[in-house]
Each structure stands twice: as C-alpha cells, then as structure tokens.
Amino acid sequence: MPPGHRLVRDPGGFTVAVPDGFTRKPQGERVFYMSPGEVFRLGIRIAAPEAGGPLAVMRRADAAGPVDNPGYRDGRVTGTTHDGHPAALWEFTWNGFSTAEGPRHTYDLCWEQDGRMYDVWVSAPVGEAREAKEHFDAAVDTFTPG
C-alpha cells in the first residue's frame, strides 16, 4: 500500500486503500471517499452485471458523456483486464462542478468479478491529475470485494 494511504473495510462490502484524511460520503448506489474540500473524489459502485460487460458499459457512459458531464472532452475507453477479469478503463475531462473549481479529469475502471460489476474511479482538478492517478492506482490495486 502506498505511503499516505490507509486500508478501509467499507460497510458496503469491500476493502480499499484510501488516502489519509479522506472521509466516506455515501450517495445513493455509490460510495465516495473525498479529500478535504472535496478536491479529490474516489468513487466505488457495485452493481449487477450489465449487457455487453464492462467494455459496453464504459462505451455507453462515454457516449452519454456530453449529457452527463458538461464540457465533456478527451473521452477514451480501453478494453483491459483487472486481476484476470474482463475490464474497461474510461478516462475523460469535463468542465467540473463549478467555474471557480475548474475542469476535472476522471480515471474510471469497471470490471466483472464473481457475478458483480465493480466500478472504481477518481476525479480531480486537471492540474492534480498526476496525484489523482496515484490515488486511482492505489484504490484499484488494493480493492477487494467482500
């Protein structure tokens, strides 16, 4: 586990490394861990598998990007695997939650495992994308269902 992170056993049924100082904020079917001021947002969603698997799910999300994320741009979806399971990585930039905050970049990995679909993502201001990628990698590398 990277320095500056702690392993959390979430009541939602998973374990994941989150950066020190992040707090849990469930929102509907998603669980977020957010940095102070909500600059960095680590999100997790566990759901039933969807038609076409992770790649189709991320392609549908990419297609809906301009509707769901104002200023959506630089979207790309890549088929991959995660611990031997079918997966898809979706990256994009959008205008963010406010003009004052500015544009944000998101890294999102979706995969199927043991009859469930897992989605782990990190969103941060564009200028913080490198640190966001480090948080994303730590979360994906340590995520354990159950």
Over its C-alpha atoms, the chain yields an Rg (Å, rounded) of 14
Q: Is the pLDDT of residue 9 over 90?
A: yes
CATH assignment, 5-145: 3.40.1000.10
Q: Is the pLDDT of residue 12 over 80?
A: yes
pLDDT tens for each residue of 119-139: 999 999 999 999 999 999 999
The rounded percent of the chain whose pLDDT value lies above 70 is 100
pLDDT tens for each residue of 35-67: 999 999 999 999 999 989 999 999 999 999 999
Q: Is the pLDDT of residue 106 over 90?
A: yes
Distance, in Å, from the CA atom of 32 to the CA atom of 100, rounded to the nearest integer, reads: 22
Domain ranges of the chain: 5-145
pLDDT of amino acid 7 = 96
Q: Is the pLDDT of residue 4 over 80?
A: yes
Q: Mean pLDDT in the chain? A: 94
Amino acid at site 70: P
Q: Is the pLDDT of residue 2 over 90?
A: no
CB-facing half-sphere around the CA of 67: CA atoms within 13 A: 5
Distance, in Å, from the CA atom of 33 to the CA atom of 19, rounded to the nearest integer, reads: 9
Q: Is the pLDDT of residue 100 over 80?
A: no
